[in-house]
Amino acid sequence: MAEVETLNMIQALNSALDLFMEREERAYVLGEDVGFFGGVFRVTEGLQKKYGARRVFDTPLAEAGIVGMALGMGLAGLVPVAEIQFADFVYPAFDQIVSELAKYRYRSGAQYTPRVVLRMPCGGGIRGGHYHSQSPEALFIHTPGLRVLMPSGPFEAKGLLLGALAGPDPVIFLEPKKLYRAIKAEVPKGWYTLPLDKAAVLRHGQDATLVAYGAMAPAALEAARLAEEEGYDIEVIDLLCLMPFDLKTLVHSVEKTGRLVVVHEAPRTCGFGAELVAAVQEKAFARLEAPPRRVTGFDTPFPYTLEDHYLPGPERILHALIETLEY
């Protein structure tokens, strides 16, 4: 049995970065405030002190430059881990990500395969207002050429980040900041990786399939518990890997339950929930006993005062579950 320690998600991510920096001398960490300050959320704390300001360095407030630089480093054979301080700030780097980073392997016939991991805190739940709460995962999932991951706890965070760092692909690593310090869990002290295309079944059930990821995974679990009080047996799936995502596990579950509810924080229209529903109805059309439902953020900018209403919570998820179950 591997040695374990009890960590929150920030500490688990920090541990992954530390292990990787130690093992891989070509690894670099860059971003706004990641060096001297250790990151606004402290994910990179201590790394500059340990590995020096050459390998762990602060950048100007220029996201297009951060991603462009990371891409250049990747092309030169280094393994950069760049932090976008908040996912909301990623848009200045959009061209670099969508038109350059995501395309390099394909455009060069795999002559250039930049290994770049972009970490970015995402989502609401910390009273951050519109510019510190967004969930832009659908844009990256929609863009061919990127892996997109979102952990839901410390164990998943470390295993997925190490998996991403060890792999050959550009990765968008989204960290639900609401969970950063909210959950502590036992995490192996050493190196381990989680597969980059597997969902986790958090709870087995027969009556309906509830799919969530990131900060919505704990909310989904709570909704399943509430549904149990009403006499329903809900299966909860935490996707973890959004692109590619584990359609097989999802379809397998829906073939058993016949009912599906998907949950995410981002606005509904053209969100990832649309893909999940569209894909499941393609694969399990005849088995569906009710139309799948989406519980999501609303189609508005992220509100500051109405945050608790905007974010799907256990009550809203339960409501959708009951509607689906009673269809």
Partner 1 sequence: MKRNIQFREALSSALADEMTADPSVFVFGLDVPDHKRIFGSTAGLLEKFGPERVFDTPLSEDAMTGAALGAALAGLRPVHVHIRVDFALLGMNQIINMISNLRYMTGGQIGKLPIVIRAVIGRGWGQSAQHSKSLQGMFAHFPGLKVVMPSSPQDAYSLLRASIRDDNPVIFLEHRWLYDVVGEVDDAHAVPLGLANVRRHGKDITLVCTSWMNVEAHKAADLLARRGVEAEIVDVRSIAPLDAATILKSVRRTGRCIVADYDWSFCGFAAELAAQIHHGCFKELKAPVERVGFAHTPCPTTRPLENLFYPSAKTLVRAAERLLGLDEMDLSQEKFYTYEVNFKGPF
Using CB under 8 A as the binding rule, whether residue 142 contacts partner 1 is answered as yes
Least Å distance, CB 25 to partner 1, is 31
CB 165 within 8 A of CB 79: yes
Going along the chain, which residue ranges are E strands? 4-7, 27-31, 56-58, 79-83, 117-122, 147-149, 171-176, 185-188, 200-203, 208-212, 234-238, 241-243, 260-267, 293-297
Using CB under 8 A as the binding rule, whether residue 99 contacts partner 1 is answered as yes
Which amino acid appears at position 130 of this protein?
A: H
Please confirm, yes or no, whether 132 is among the known catalytic residues. yes
Least Å distance, CB 106 to partner 1, is 4
Using CB under 8 A as the binding rule, whether residue 282 contacts partner 1 is answered as yes
User: Tokens at residue 208, please?
Assistant: 């309906």
DSSP-derived secondary structure for 67-134: HHHHHHHHHTT-EEEEE-SSGGG-GGGHHIIIIIITTHHHHTTTS-----EEEEEE-SSSS--GGG--
Q: What single DSSP character describes residue 169?
A: S
**Contact range with partner 1 by CB under 8 A, out of 137-145, 169-177, 184-192, 195-203:** 137-145
Residue from 3, 54, 111, 285 in contact with partner 1 (CB under 8 A): 285
**Contact range with partner 1 by CB under 8 A, out of 6-14, 22-30, 283-291, 311-319:** 283-291
Cα 182 vs. chain centroid, distance in angstroms? 16
**Contact range with partner 1 by CB under 8 A, out of 14-22, 68-76, 84-92, 117-125:** 84-92
Residue from 95, 308, 315, 323 in contact with partner 1 (CB under 8 A): 95
Using CB under 8 A as the binding rule, whether residue 98 contacts partner 1 is answered as yes
Catalytic residues: 132
Q: Which residues bind partner 1 (CB under 8 A)?
A: 88, 91-92, 94-95, 98-99, 102-103, 106-107, 130-131, 138-139, 141-145, 243, 266-267, 269-275, 277-279, 281-282, 285, 288, 290-294, 298-301
